[in-house]
């Protein structure tokens, strides 16, 4: 989760990595991770080459204002739509790259700025800022606190309606949705708020998706009609709340929704390529599972 505990946990991870580096171990591990990532990517590319993609910045009118977003889609044909919820650092180059990569696999992908009500455009610059810096974290947490289940519902409905009007979207196919960090709960609610359209969901190091609170997103599972769900959990999030994954498994099992819930040996935030704790090997594994999940539910 995007809280003090996670920041402290990740900083402790950095300290341990620094100690390992002094012993000459990290260099070897990084090389192995890079090799594994390249091998995975090359294997996927050799099986099916990436599609040619067009990208554009778009604006979507919602009941609460105008949402700025990035839309990436193959240049030919109609494809299943995907709605992407970024992490607390918002829509930025890393997520545009991820959206484009997903589009290259045959999806029409909309990645939104979830903070548009308070601030349009980019809210974080990975080249000059670090989330672990207190002033940066305070600013971003304030933006996140402006979101709620109600704003999530407004955005999910409006953005999926916008996608359904695009000529590149095949409305005969279901919609997929993915979310990272704070985007995890947004994925869960999107599956519940627009159940007749959202048929697949994937969360990566999602924060607070299955808590003991009466407002926990996992309690919405009975409203979902998803055909496949993926929940990739960070190891330090699991250490903080080990019962969370069990709540998820039990909720999806009770609803008879196929769900893959797995704890990854990686820190919270490991997936985006501009993250301080980016783990190439585990990010590629998560990406392959995302494609498998969507391939099952949105084909």
Using the predicted structure, report yes or no on whether residue 129 has a pLDDT greater than 80: yes
Q: Report the candidate in 3, 12, 116, 138 with the shortest Cα–Cα distance to residue 66.
A: 116
Q: Is 183 helix (H, G, I), strand (E, B) or coil?
A: helix
Mean pLDDT to the nearest integer, 27-33: 38
Separation CA 248–CA 261 (nearest Å): 8
Reported confidence tier of residue 42, pLDDT bands at 50, 70, 90: very low
As a whole number, the mean pLDDT across the chain is: 89
Separation CA 270–CA 227 (nearest Å): 26
Q: What is the pTM of this model?
A: 0.87
Domains of the chain: 4-15+48-297 (3.40.50.1820)
Contact 91, 133 (CB under 8 A): no
Q: Report the candidate in 159, 247, 254 with the shortest Cα–Cα distance to residue 209.
A: 247
Q: Is the dihedral of CA 83, 88, 92, 96 positive or negative?
A: negative
Mean pLDDT to the nearest integer, 151-158: 98
Type and span of the H or E element at 257? none
Residues 6+ apart with CB under 8 A from 22: none
Confidence (pLDDT) at 218: 98
Token pair 């609610």 is at which residue? Answer: 189
Give the CA dihedral 95, 51, 75, 227, nearest 10 degrees: -70
State how far Cα 11 lies from the chain centre. 22
Q: How do residues 71-117 score in pLDDT, each as one tens digit?
A: 999 999 999 999 999 999 999 999 999 999 999 999 999 999 999 99
Using the predicted structure, report yes or no on whether residue 47 has a pLDDT greater than 70: no
Beta pairing class for 53-62 and 228-234: unpaired
Confidence (pLDDT) at 8: 54
Q: Which residues pair with 204 in a beta bridge?
A: 180, 232
Confidence (pLDDT) at 161: 98
Mean pLDDT to the nearest integer, 128-153: 96
Reported confidence tier of residue 44, pLDDT bands at 50, 70, 90: very low
The residue ranking higher by pLDDT, 41 or 224, is: 224
With vertex at residue 199, the alpha carbon angle to CA 268 and CA 266, rounded to the nearest 5 degrees, is 15
Reported confidence tier of residue 49, pLDDT bands at 50, 70, 90: confident
Q: Report the candidate in 128, 97, 110, 211 with the shortest Cα–Cα distance to residue 165.
A: 110
Confidence (pLDDT) at 12: 52
Confidence (pLDDT) at 254: 98
Q: Give percent of the chain with pLDDT exceeding 70.
A: 84
Type and span of the H or E element at 209? none
Q: How do residues 222-275 score in pLDDT, each as one tens digit?
A: 999 999 999 999 999 999 999 999 999 999 999 999 999 999 999 999 999 999
Using the predicted structure, report yes or no on whether residue 132 has a pLDDT greater than 70: yes
């Amino acid at each position: 989760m995007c809280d003090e505990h996670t920041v402290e946990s990740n900083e402790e991870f950095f300290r341990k990595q620094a100690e390992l580096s002094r012993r000459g171990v990290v260099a070897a591990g990084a090389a192995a991770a890079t090799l594994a990532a390249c091998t995975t990517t090359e294997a996927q590319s050799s099986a099916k080459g990436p599609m040619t993609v067009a990208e554009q910045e778009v604006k979507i009118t919602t009941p609460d204002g105008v949402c700025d977003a990035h839309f990436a889609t193959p240049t030919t044909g109609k494809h299943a739509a995907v709605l992407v919820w970024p992490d607390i650092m918002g829509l930025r180059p890393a997520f545009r790259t991820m959206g484009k990569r997903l589009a290259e696999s045959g999806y029409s992908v909309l990645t939104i700025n979830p903070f548009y009500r308070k601030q349009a455009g980019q809210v974080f610059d990975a080249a000059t800022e670090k989330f672990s810096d207190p002033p940066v974290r305070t600013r971003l947490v304030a933006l996140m606190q402006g979101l709620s289940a109600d704003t999530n519902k407004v955005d999910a409905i409006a953005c999926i309606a916008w996608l359904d009007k695009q000529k590149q979207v095949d409305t005969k196919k279901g919609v997929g949705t993915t979310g990272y960090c704070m985007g995890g709960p947004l994925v869960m609610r999107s599956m519940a708020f627009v159940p007749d359209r959202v048929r697949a969901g994937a969360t990566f190091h999602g924060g607070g998706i299955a808590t003991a609170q009466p407002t926990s997103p996992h309690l919405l599972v009975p409203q979902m009609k998803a055909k496949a769900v993926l929940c990739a959990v960070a190891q330090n999030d699991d250490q903080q709340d080990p019962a969370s994954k069990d709540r998820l498994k039990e909720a999806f099992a009770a609803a008879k929704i196929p769900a893959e819930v797995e704890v990854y040996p990686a820190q919270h935030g490991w997936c985006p390529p501009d993250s301080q704790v980016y783990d190439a090997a585990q990010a590629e594994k998560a990406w392959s599972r995302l494609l498998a999940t969507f391939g099952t539910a949105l084909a």
